A = this chain, B = another copy of it.
Amino acid sequence: MRLEIVAIGTELLLGHTVNTNAAWLSQELAKIGVDIFFHSTIGDNPARIKEALALARGRSDGMIVTGGLGPTEDDVTTAVIAEFAGMPLILHPEILKKIKDRFRRRKMTMAKLNERQAYLPKGAREIPNRVGTAPGFILAIPQEPSTPKGTRYLPEPEKVPGTFFIAALPGVPREMKPMFLETVQPFLRKQGGPKSVIISKTLRTSGLPESTIAARVRKWLKLKPPVTVGIYAHLGEVDLRIMAKGKNLGKANRAIGKIEKEIRPKIKDVFFGVDEETLESNVVNHLIAKKKTLAVAESCTGGLLTHRITNVSGSSKALTRGLVTYSYESKTALLGVPADLLKKKGAVSREAASMMARRVRQTANTTFGIGITGIAGPTGGTKKKPAGLVYVALATPKKTYCSELFLKGSREEIKWQATQKALNGLRLELAKT
């Protein structure tokens, strides 16, 4: 089955709200074998909603509409769908009662406007809403017999004629999500037709640029469905996502497993986790498993490294302390970094970072110490020491390593990349032990 997702709302077109519903719905639909080839967003405008319906009916088996179900005059989704389907709007007394009860429970008077929400197109099935007042609905109408519109460039009609489903849901995520999971998903599962699921697994790496990773796995990047591999670069991180379409979850999982087994040796040195695993969770879990401890002294990253580490539940077992030594004075007072060294070499120097790492390790009595100093920018840089210059040092029981980085981006991006480097350095060190 092939559906498309249409979001309705002028606030989306104006950019005041980011459409997160489309991504969430897509993930949920992929899990039950529904293909999604189009997301679109339009305003609360009857002509354009009808145009989207006509377009979707020409190329898909149905559409999920989010938004425009509210009580105000702006909310036209239900009326337009009814008109498109050629069905009148019918009052559902049981829905009206639910809405009234809801207001009564909250000791509020129901506005006359809210009555509109009790009308659904004839033939529609209610999607109950436990969180808000707007019910959703599912409506099935015949497919258009004529040639699909707007598909001039598609080699052939991509869909089989039959029934066209419209599921209308509110735009508010905390109402939409349970409604989808409780009513729409079970409904779609029951629809016939061949089904196959799409799942994915992401292999995450840090330490090499996208082009180098791409060169290593070029062969797999060329794979065609049902199993494909995509590459995605983030700040200080490159992900490989293996995606498989299969008759069922077991088959799709096995297809992914096969490719993963082939790729993993190619990225052995940079791989740090799958899916939701992060550099920080990798590091924290390895520290705990190996009974090692860590202390951190940050200057330009200003607490971000410690924040990321402490986002991992259980991190208190591994991290004992973090110091943000933002001033010269605090570097000396808290870490005993000699004022002399700071004066001679500068607070942003290989020597200062190394000394911070060593001293925080010693004073906290931990296995490892990390020291970071640099210029996060946009101000504070000089010709010799530009914004983006960062030193990241790691003190181990045996020696201290220090990297010099020239980072680009906004202040927050520079902070982030510096912490990526620090976490990846510790990850590599832990892999050795």
Contacts and interface: CB of A to CB of B under 8 A. Distances in A.
Interface of A: 7, 10-20, 22-28, 30, 36-43, 45, 47-48, 50-51, 54-55, 71-74, 106, 108, 110-111, 113-114, 131, 149-155, 172, 174, 198, 200, 202, 209, 211-212, 214-215, 221-222, 230-233, 241, 243, 296, 298, 300-307, 309-311, 313-316, 319-327, 329-330, 333-334, 363-364, 376-380, 408-413, 415
B150 A54 contact: yes
Given A40-B41, A230-B10, A321 B310 contact: no
A175 to B, nearest CB: 10
B19 A73 contact: no
A25 B30 contact: no
Given A12-B26, A37-B43, 8 more contacts: A39-B39, A111-B214, A150-B150, A303-B305, A313-B379, A321-B327, A322-B326, A330-B364
Nearest to A318: B326
B320 A323 contact: no
Nearest to A334: B321
A405 to B, nearest CB: 11
A14 B200 contact: yes
A16 B30 CA distance: 11
Interface majority SS (helix, strand, loop, mixed), chain A: mixed
Nearest to A322: B324
A323 B310 CA distance: 13
Nearest to A309: B302
A20 B12 CA distance: 11
B15 A174 contact: no
Contacts of A298: 303
B43 A41 contact: no
Nearest to A111: B211
Contacts of A231: 72, 74
Interface centre among A40, A43, A50 (most CB of B within 10 A): A40
B15 A18 contact: no
Contacts of A19: 18-19, 22-23, 39
Given A37-B42, A131-B408, A200-B16, A310 B324 contact: yes
15 contacts: A10-B230, A11-B232, A12-B39, A14-B243, A38-B41, A40-B40, A51-B152, A54-B150, A74-B230, A113-B211, A174-B413, A303-B305, A306-B307, A322-B322, A322-B324
A323 B322 contact: yes
A111 to B, nearest CB: 4
Given A23-B19, A215-B111, A302-B311, A48 B37 contact: yes
A82 B321 CA distance: 56
Given A15-B30, A54-B153, A131-B409, A38 B37 contact: no
A149 to B, nearest CB: 5
Contacts of A149: 149-150, 152
A13 B40 contact: no
A172 B413 CA distance: 13
B304 A307 contact: yes
Contacts of A41: 22, 38-40
B22 A15 contact: yes
Nearest to A199: B14
Nearest to A306: B303
A185 to B, nearest CB: 14
B114 A211 contact: yes
Contacts of A71: 211, 214
A221 B310 contact: no
A19 B25 CA distance: 13
A283 to B, nearest CB: 14
Nearest to A155: B47
A344 to B, nearest CB: 20
Contact of A412 (B12, B40, B311, B314): B311
